[in-house]
Amino acid sequence: MTEASPRRMGEPDLGAEPMVIEIGPQHPAMHGITRMHAELDGEVVVSVDVDIGYLHRGFEKECENSNYIQIIPYTDRLNYVSPLINNIGYSMTVEKLFGIEPPRRAEFARVIMAELSRITDHLTCLGAMAMEVGAMSVFIWYVKAREYLWELVEEVTGARLTTNWTRIGGNANDLPDHFLDMLEERLKMVESVLDEGEKLLLRNKIFIDRMQGVGIVSKERAIEYAFTGPMLRACGVPYDLRREDPYSVYPELDFEIPVGTVGDCLDRVLVRVEEMRQSIRIVRQAAEMLPPGDYMNYDRRASLPDKMEVYGSIEGLIDHFKVVMDGPQPPPGEAYQAVEGGNGEVGFYIVSDGSGQPLKCRCRPPCFNFVAALSEMVVGHYVADIVPIFGSINMIGGELER
Amino acid sequence: MSEATPPPEGAAQPEAAAPADSPPELTALLRSTFANSVVDHHCQHGDETVIIRREGMLEVFRFLKEDPRCAFDMMIDLTAADYLPRAPRFELVVHLKSITLHHRLRIKVPLEEGAEEVDTISGLWVAANWYERECYDMYGIHFAGHPDLRRLLLYEEFQGHPLRKDYDYHVQQPLVPLRAVQERHDYEMVVEYPTPAEDGDGGPPEEPAQD
């Protein structure tokens, strides 16, 4: 990383005291919830103390007082620009505890929705970062593309952001009949926006100058900070959980993992831009391979029975009653399952004591490590460089502070 | 330590699953190298887990990081769990990952109530720094030798540690008097903000909110 250099470019030493400023939490470039206590020498950052916690909602405490089905909507609120990935990660962990396998159709549907969420996540990150350095139109266009995808998500889940879509053993509902046609239409629309956006960003000298050589993290340092996702890949490490610890049906799909070379903000932009293309590729493949069948693997221990069953048979009614009143009760044990989120490794660590409520439900947030490393990344840069660096780590408050 | 006394009735006992007949490679390696430190192991749901003693845990972690057969270059996650009625009440849970050798390992360190202090591993993996701060914040576990053990997500005046099982879910924290932003950083120029009491209309600051 860059060494602390109080002065640059032959500035005379006037012997000034460092100036202390508080950036945020209300500053728009801090996304509203992070405070930086920065010490400056002129315009150069000497030290930064990052203060987080303004959006802490007590996710884990809430989980310990809820049953396993009630937690699924809480996970929407972790990374709220790609909620489906959190849903999937959580459900996979509970499925691991129960030993339930979702049907293949549900797996493919999950992959499609996860990749769409990854695109919305990257669009948000790139759009916000571009806006913060002055490229307003990119933000508007990317948000437009994000809206195309969220309408698609709404068709499937009934909500744009608070999806609450997966269940233990499958999904809440099947992909609608017209989904595949609509998907292809929307992907084409998104692709055209991506083309335009890439031109606006990567052929823009001002944008490149603001990004290039800023916020460099070396490969070794990134690994030591346990960076994952696009931040680590920008440093040149081809670490992607979809390949590293393959889960779901990813081994059957063909995609590439883009990596950067230097590990600066521009590399992070380029990695995200390429990942969106790869995600579209995965969605197309998965849509083609989408098998017929059931979208839910009903297990009487874990899932609510079909309504026809509940109203039509005594067993269904009792199963429904047990699951609603006691909650699903996985056998005692513990499980950790990680999925590749928009930002990196989203891991869930759940300890079950055999009761209806988890003894411990922990979410491992990927952007936690990035914000931890932030003070090291901005030291030695100008104050104005804090904005693209902070934008490039894609801090999502819901996930960071849970 | 953990196997000395059987846990009381109804207590959580996640490591109840019997150890596999032939322990996996990493577990066997740790067992042979640190026979005194390793208490137990299991491999539930395919997650390889080793339970080690608090004393000498730093050597185990150093071995895991530096030995070429382990090469755990990433500390993915650090957290704790509170098994309240059980005898070793807390458990420190660390998830490790090796990028070079592509394997994972979970290390658990049982901690007795009243002695919730462990050595920091932030000297080995810098990522542990903030995770340990969060763990201290939520569980009150002290990390000896940590460079900057402050609360992370909550504020300094917060009373108690919310993820402990005996922390009341419905408790309301007392109001904190308004403080100058720079106070805790101890600078020469401290801005004097008026406290609500001095304003005259704010009421006494220490009275808890009555909803």
- Is A303 within a domain? yes
- Is B50 within a domain? yes
ipTM for the complex? 0.85
User: B73: domain CATH number?
Assistant: 3.30.460.80
Average pLDDT over residues A21-31: 79
Write down which residue in B144, B164, B197 finishes a domain.
B144
Residues on chain B touching A397 (C-beta within 8 angstroms): none
State the pLDDT at residue A280: 92
Q: Residue A119: is its pLDDT beyond 90? A: yes
Interface of A with B in 7-26 (CB under 8 A): 20, 22
Average pLDDT over residues A163-188: 89
Residues on chain A touching B47 (C-beta within 8 angstroms): 334-336
State the pLDDT at residue B11: 40
User: A184: domain CATH number?
Assistant: 1.10.645.10
Strand partners, B102: none
Q: What is the pLDDT of residues A300-310, one digit of tens each?
A: 888 888 888 88
Q: What is the DSSP letter of B195?
A: P
Say yes or no for a CB contact (<8 Å) between B14 and A56: no
- Is B155 within a domain? no
Rounded Cα distance, A28 and A169, in Å: 41
Q: What is the 3-state secondary structure (H, E, C) of chain A?
A: CCCCCCCCCCCCCCCCCCEEEEECCCCHHHCCCCEEEEEEECCEEEEEEEECCCCCCCHHHHHHCCCCCCHHHHHHCCCCCCHHHHHHHHHHHHHHHHCCCCCHHHHHHHHHHHHHHHHHHHHHHHHHHHHHCCCHHHHHHHHHHHHHHHHHHHHHHCCCCCCCCEECCEECCCCCCCHHHHHHHHHHHHHHHHHHHHHHHHCCHHHHHHHCCCCCCCHHHHHHCCCCHHHHHHCCCCCCHHHHCCCCCHHHCCCCCCCCCCCCHHHHHHHHHHHHHHHHHHHHHHHHHCCCCCCECCCCCCCCCCHHHHHHCHHHHHHHHHHHHHCCCCCCEEEEEEEECCCCEEEEEEEECCCCCCCEEEEECHHHHHHHHHHHHHCCCEHHHHHHHHHHCCCCHHHHHC
Domain extent for A98 = 59-401
Nearest CB among A53, A97, A239 relative to B152 is that of A53
Say yes or no for a CB contact (<8 Å) between A237 and B79: no
Interface test with A, best of B48, B49, B77 (most A CBs within 10 A): B77
Q: Does A37 touch chain B (CB under 8 A)?
A: yes
Q: Which residue in chain B is spatially nearest to A34 when comparing CA positions?
A: B153
Together in a domain, B40 and B115: yes
A253 — phi, psi (to 5°)?
A: -100, 150
Rounded Cα distance, A206 and A89, in Å: 39
Together in a domain, B185 and B134: no
Q: Which residue in chain B is spatially nearest to A344 when comparing CA positions?
A: B76
Q: What is the pLDDT of residues B86-139, one digit of tens each?
A: 888 899 999 999 888 888 899 999 988 888 888 888 888 898 999 999 999 999
Say what percent of chain A tops pLDDT 70. 96
Counting the structural domains of chain B, the total is 2
Q: Does A239 touch chain B (CB under 8 A)?
A: yes
> What burial class does residue A362 get, using C-beta atoms within 10 Å of its C-beta: 0-12 exposed, 13-18 middle, 19+ buried?
buried
Write down which residue in B95, B127, B144 finishes a domain.
B144
- What rounded mean pLDDT belongs to chain A? 87
Say yes or no for a CB contact (<8 Å) between A223 and B163: no
Together in a domain, B97 and B44: yes
Say yes or no for a CB contact (<8 Å) between A352 and B154: no
Residue with tokens 């395919």: B46
Q: Which residue in chain B is spatially nearest to A59 when comparing CA positions?
A: B163
Say yes or no for a CB contact (<8 Å) between A223 and B73: yes
One-letter amino acid for residue B33 of the chain: T
Nearest CB among A64, A224, A335 relative to B126 is that of A224
B166 — phi, psi (to 5°)?
A: -90, 10
Together in a domain, B104 and B196: no
Chain centroid to CA B80? 4
Side-chain half-sphere exposure of B55, counting CA atoms within 13 A: 4
Of B140, B12, B14, nearest in space to B83 by CA: B12
Rounded Cα distance, A370 and A231, in Å: 8
- Is B74 within a domain? yes
Q: Does A27 touch chain B (CB under 8 A)?
A: no
Residue A372 C-alpha, separation from nearest chain B C-alpha, in angstroms = 6
- Is A35 within a domain? no
> What burial class does residue B142 get, using C-beta atoms within 10 Å of its C-beta: 0-12 exposed, 13-18 middle, 19+ buried?
middle
Say yes or no for a CB contact (<8 Å) between A223 and B106: no
Say yes or no for a CB contact (<8 Å) between A20 and B75: no
Together in a domain, B32 and B128: yes
State the pLDDT at residue B169: 85
B56 — phi, psi (to 5°)?
A: 75, 15
State the pLDDT at residue B41: 84
Together in a domain, B122 and B48: yes
Together in a domain, B127 and B176: no
State the pLDDT at residue A109: 92
Segment (H or E) for B117: strand B117-119
- Is B160 within a domain? no
- Is A140 within a domain? yes
Residues on chain B touching A347 (C-beta within 8 angstroms): 76-77, 95
- Is B91 within a domain? yes
Q: Which residue in chain B is spatially nearest to A366 when comparing CA positions?
A: B76
- Is A64 within a domain? yes
Together in a domain, B137 and B194: no
Say yes or no for a CB contact (<8 Å) between A332 and B153: no
Together in a domain, B68 and B125: yes
Q: Which residues contact B154 (CB under 8 A, 6 or more apart)?
A: A53, A56, B137, B162
> What burial class does residue B178 get, using C-beta atoms within 10 Å of its C-beta: 0-12 exposed, 13-18 middle, 19+ buried?
middle
Counting the structural domains of chain A, the total is 1
Per-residue pLDDT tens, chain B, 211 aa: give them: 344 444 444 444 444 444 445 668 888 888 788 878 888 888 888 888 889 988 888 888 988 888 888 888 899 999 999 988 888 889 999 999 988 888 889 999 998 888 888 888 888 889 899 999 999 999 989 888 888 888 888 888 888 889 888 888 888 888 888 766 555 455 455 455 556 555 555 444 454 545 5
Average pLDDT over residues A213-239: 89
Strand partners, A364: A347
Together in a domain, B105 and B180: no
Residue A364 C-alpha, separation from nearest chain B C-alpha, in angstroms = 6
Q: Does A134 touch chain B (CB under 8 A)?
A: no
- Is B162 within a domain? no
Say yes or no for a CB contact (<8 Å) between A22 and B17: no
Q: Does A401 touch chain B (CB under 8 A)?
A: yes
Q: Does A195 touch chain B (CB under 8 A)?
A: no
Together in a domain, B133 and B179: no
Chain centroid to CA B47? 20
- Is B7 within a domain? no
Domain extent for B110 = 14-144
